[in-house]
Amino acid sequence: MIRLYGAWRTLPTRLLSAAGRMPMIIDQVVAREAHRFRNEVIKAFRTQSSGGKQWKPLSRITLALRRAGVQGGRSGGSKALVRSKINLGSFII
């Protein structure tokens, strides 16, 4: 004979309650991972490397065009894909 110990009679009610909260829990987990990924992307742009590999530096022509302000917007910026902090702030979730 099998004897059950604990609150087995309330198990169906507790399982249904947990199932009702599951979409909220999944949303929280996905949001947390999205923020983690966003932080990794921003870190890659700031350090100009990802996956342990350093990105190639910008060419002299690109740097000269940026200094001259030919490419639109503000002049300057020596990092790839980053012209200002506004660009980094544009990664939203």
Whole-number pLDDT of residue 29: 92
- At 37 the pLDDT is 92
Rounded to an integer, what distance in angstroms lies between the CA atom of residue 66 and that of residue 54?
Answer: 21
Give domain limits for the chain. 8-89
Quick one: pLDDT at residue 71? 62
Asked if residue 75 lies in contact with residue 63, where contact means CB atoms within 8 angstroms, the answer is no
Q: What is the pLDDT along the chain (93 residues), one digit of tens a residue?
A: 778 788 888 888 888 888 888 888 899 999 999 999 999 988 888 888 988 899 888 889 888 887 787 766 565 677 776 666 667 777 777
Report the alpha-carbon distance of residue 78 to residue 66 in Å, rounded: 8
Which stretches within the chain are classed as H helix? 11-47, 60-68, 85-89
pLDDT at 33: 95
Is the full-model pTM beyond 0.85?
A: no
